[in-house]
Amino acid sequence: MRVWKVAVLTAVSMVVLAGAARADEKPSYGPPAKWVQVAEIPAPPVDDQAPSTQVLLDDNQAQHDNTGSTYYNRRIVKVLKPEALQGGSRSVTWDPIRDKVTIHALAIVRDGQRIDLLKNGQDVLVLRREKNLERAMLDGRMTASIQIKDLQVGDLIDWSYSYEHRDPLVGGRTNDFERMAWSGVAGRYRVRMLWADGTPLTWRALPAFPTPKVSRSGKLNELLVDVTGVKTPKPPAAAPLRFQRLGGIEATTYSGWDDISRRMAPLYVKAGELSADSPLRAEIATIAAAGSDPKVRAFKALQLVEDKTRYLFLGMGDGGYKPASVDETWSRRFGDCKAKTVLLLAVLRELGVEAEPVLVSTTGGDGLNERTPSAALFNHVIVRARIDGKSYWLDGTRSGDLGDLDSLRPPPFRWALPLRTAGATLEEIVQPSLAKPDTEGQIRIDATGGFDKPAPLTMSMIFRGDAGLALARALRTTPRADIERGLKQQFSASNSWMTLEKIDFDVTPEGIGKVMITGTVEMDWRMNDDVGAREFKFPGSGSGKATTFPRREPGPNTDAPFATTFPAYATSVTEVVLPNKGDGYSVKGPIWSGRVANSEIVRTAELRDGVARFSQSTRSVGRELPFSEVEEANKILRRLAGDAEIIRAPKGS
């Protein structure tokens, strides 16, 4: 199955959109191109665990040259069970500016007879369906959809189409992503790529993909995978993303990462030209007058872009790659990542701060450096500023950043491609471990009133990073009473033994969120007959319910490392002020420190000056745990989860 992935970064010019041609807003109908090898319908594969729909043929062919690519797709499936009747439609989506779609066939094969459903497009519904409208994203893509009539169990559905992709903005460079993606056993799976001499195509097969055969006929090269009775490889559970990329092949006509960098850079240079009478210059002058410190200037420039322009993605026309001009974005006060990046770059340039645009992937960054170079691998662009030899990663599509430049954390995108006219290669975005906790929690319970009375409670929480900024944004957009109600519900859901009475919250100018809660708790003191004393066990402690790493089934990359959360840092302290200054009381709980599952953990339990105190600190120090360490990590995690936090009262009390 071909992964149709055309790169769409995030912005567009309304002017370009208004003048764009619309010749391919409807599909064409007809046979495949002559270079396509049309397959016979294969017999159903032998599969004693076949799902409701069985793949007989998954055929993917492509022809690449220096102007773009043409892709042919055909899939034949058999309806085995009534549940498969719900999948009674077929559709194809395309960009009307860069793509041309030709639908070849949609038919039912029943008892050896072929029933044509396409009828030269008379039942095809063509519409512009914006799937991400609620996320302020418009891409202008068209969808042709056909409902399959009179579908019955036992039918074969034969569906095929081609699409041509041409994009002059990147000089006709293109890519091809192909992967095995079906349930059960497929009867026949074919991948066929053609390219002539002079087309700089390179390819890479991923693990668990059949070995391609490359041949040559005259000046035409052919890559072929043609296999029968095959299953889709299963990725290893909980592995980093790069180890889950299995059963696929990648091809590109870009000569390298620097090829992408060189082709994209001029678009940003041109769009960033600020006119002499631009209204934006007044904003720049205000920032400049506030001080000469480049860090302060850069952060104020970021806040300007975040707070005075809203996010809106318009991906029609040339908007997939081409950013809107800086003056256009400022005048309409909206833009997407490309437009906001150009705006931020223009402001920084006028303020004397060194900066450049960099492409990133928000979802596929892990292992990006191992992949074949393609612009389609990127879906976002940000700014990298350099001050005193240090890189600062600035994202104008964020909102409400507070504090200063040094409080900004590097994003989790792993790799960045700088856009330079001379070209550049990938650079790693390094994320350090956190120096301060993201969350700090403290609970203090006054139990001096005795066993059978509600104990006064005070709770404080501190949130740093994005959690603190989320609270700051909520305070700007949501009634305070609604936030209070939401916080109470959130805390009480996991602390039902507490009665929350009053809650207060605020955010500091540095973006640190603070929450204060007061109330009471019902301390359930129970007699432990084995020791002849009453005990209070903190709810949830000692349950043995640990979040551990799963066991993997045999398969490719089964010994890959396990992904762990990084960066993260949290601390918590619970204190109970005891009756009689704690005379005769004792505590039981985990006292442990060490490193487990890429986290430095410190847990303590102590009784001092009449106060029982239980604390925990967890700080992640890595994002991948070697496979060889998982079993030992699971044992320690289970043991720690089984250690209860207990306060024991004096006998006879």
pLDDT-based confidence at residue 580 (cuts at 50, 70, 90): very high
| Residue 129 pLDDT greater than 90, yes or no | no
Q: Burial letters for 188-225: b for 16+ Cβ neighbours within 10 Å, e otherwise?
A: bbbbbbbbeeebebebebbebbbebeeeeeeeebebbb
| Residue 1 pLDDT greater than 50, yes or no | yes
Q: For the purposes of burial, counting CB atoms within 10 Å of the CB of 444, is it exposed (0-12), middle (13-18) or buried (19 or more)?
A: middle
| Residue 91 pLDDT greater than 90, yes or no | yes
Across residues 232-254, what is the average pLDDT? Answer: 97
CA distances from 76 to 111, 163, 425 (A): 15, 18, 41
What are the tens digits of pLDDT across the range 466-504?
A: 999 999 999 999 999 999 999 988 888 888 889 999 999
Across residues 561-571, what is the average pLDDT? Answer: 97
CB under 8 A, 24+ apart: contacts of 225-229 = 225/189, 225/190, 225/191, 225/192, 225/249, 226/188, 226/189, 226/190, 226/191, 226/192, 227/188, 227/189, 227/190, 228/42, 228/45, 228/187, 228/188, 228/189, 229/45, 229/46, 229/185, 229/186, 229/187
Strand partners of residue 612: 576, 607
| Residue 559 pLDDT greater than 90, yes or no | yes
Residue 312, pLDDT score? 84
- The pLDDT mean for the chain works out to 92
Read out DSSP for 239-286? --HHHH--SEEEEE----HHHHHHHHHHHHHHHTPPPTT-THHHHHHH
| Residue 87 pLDDT greater than 90, yes or no | no
Give the residue with greater pLDDT, 293 vs 131.
293
> Nearest Cα to 619, choosing from 574, 564, 582, 581?
564
pLDDT-based confidence at residue 6 (cuts at 50, 70, 90): very low
Lowest mean pLDDT among 65-69, 130-134, 618-622: 130-134
Q: How far apart are CA 623 and CA 625, in angstroms?
A: 7
Percent above pLDDT 70 for the chain: 94
| Residue 138 pLDDT greater than 70, yes or no | no
Residue 109, pLDDT score? 97
Amino acid letter for position 549: F
| Residue 213 pLDDT greater than 90, yes or no | yes
Across residues 351-357, what is the average pLDDT? Answer: 98
pLDDT-based confidence at residue 650 (cuts at 50, 70, 90): very high
| Residue 134 pLDDT greater than 60, yes or no | no
Domains and their CATH numbers in the chain:
21-233 (2.60.40.3140), 259-428 (3.10.620.30), 439-648 (no CATH)
Q: For the purposes of burial, counting CB atoms within 10 Å of the CB of 320, is it exposed (0-12), middle (13-18) or buried (19 or more)?
A: buried
Percent above pLDDT 90 for the chain: 84
What are the tens digits of pLDDT across the range 592-640?
A: 999 999 999 999 999 999 999 999 999 999 999 999 999 999 999 999 9
What are the tens digits of pLDDT across the range 521-541?
A: 999 999 999 999 999 999 989
Residue 339 in 3-state DSSP?
Answer: helix
Residue 2, pLDDT score? 61
Residue 499, pLDDT score? 92
CB atoms within 10 A of CB 528: 13
Q: What dihedral angle (degrees, nearest 10) is formed by the CA atoms of 343, 366, 202, 67?
A: -30
Residue 15, pLDDT score? 29
Lowest mean pLDDT among 305-319, 336-350, 477-491, 503-517: 305-319
Residue 84, pLDDT score? 87
Across residues 353-378, what is the average pLDDT? Answer: 97
Residue 54, pLDDT score? 95
> Sign of dihedral through CA atoms 378, 379, 382, 388?
negative
Q: What dihedral angle (degrees, nearest 10) is formed by the CA atoms of 645, 647, 648, 650?
A: 170
- Look up residue 2 and give its DSSP letter: B
Q: How far apart are CA 107 and CA 11, in angstroms?
A: 39
pLDDT-based confidence at residue 208 (cuts at 50, 70, 90): very high
Across residues 27-56, what is the average pLDDT? Answer: 95
